[in-house]
């Protein structure tokens, strides 16, 4: 029996979750899912230029698991670029470390911890806020996870 998969730690929700070629409707394209942990692996290794050992530590996984995630993500990004697919970032066994809130009125973004309550945009005062972690089905579970690990 394989051991249960450990949830990977992701810094925060991505700003954008869907990408597609210009001029083609998403419904006409074959979808391609990039898991949130694969997105995080690409962000750490390719965008921030961190080495695999340091990146693995950030995600709370082994270096070899991190290397497999990067390879899988790079393959999917290659598919997206060469085949013109509809790339969606979603899914995966993860916990966010921080949350991202976007104001729908002024577009301001706030990087926050899960134990912070924000009901109004400090920039414009609007209460029309979007919880990006909540959009991925996370938020409460991530808050409970991080509260457990702080003790």
**Kind and range of the H or E run holding 74:** helix 63-83
The answer to the question of residue 138 being in a domain is yes
The answer to the question of residue 3 being in a domain is no
- Average pLDDT of the chain is 88
Q: What is the pTM of this model?
A: 0.82
State the residue range of the domain holding 145: 98-150
Residues 39 and 106 in one domain: no
pLDDT digits (tens, 9 = 90+) for 14-66: 988 999 999 999 999 999 999 999 999 999 999 999 999 999 999 999 999 99
Q: Are strands 94-96 and 8-10 parallel, antiparallel or unpaired?
A: parallel
Cα–Cα distance for residue pair 40/52, rounded to 1 Å: 12
């Amino acid at each position: 029996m394989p051991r249960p998969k450990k949830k990977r730690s992701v810094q925060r929700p991505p700003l954008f979750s869907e990408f597609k070629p210009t001029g083609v409707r998403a419904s006409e394209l074959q979808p391609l899912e990039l898991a949130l942990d694969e997105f995080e692996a690409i962000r750490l290794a390719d965008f921030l230029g961190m080495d695999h050992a340091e990146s693995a530590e950030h995600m709370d996984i082994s270096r070899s698991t991190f290397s497999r995630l990067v390879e899988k993500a790079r393959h999917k990004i290659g598919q997206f670029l060469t085949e013109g697919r509809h790339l969606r970032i979603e899914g995966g066994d993860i916990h966010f470390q921080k949350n991202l809130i976007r104001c729908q009125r002024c577009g301001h973004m706030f990087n926050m911890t899960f134990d912070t309550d924000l009901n109004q945009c400090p920039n414009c005062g609007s209460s029309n806020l979007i919880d990006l972690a909540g959009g991925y089905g996370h938020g409460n579970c991530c808050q409970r996870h991080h509260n457990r690990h702080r003790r």
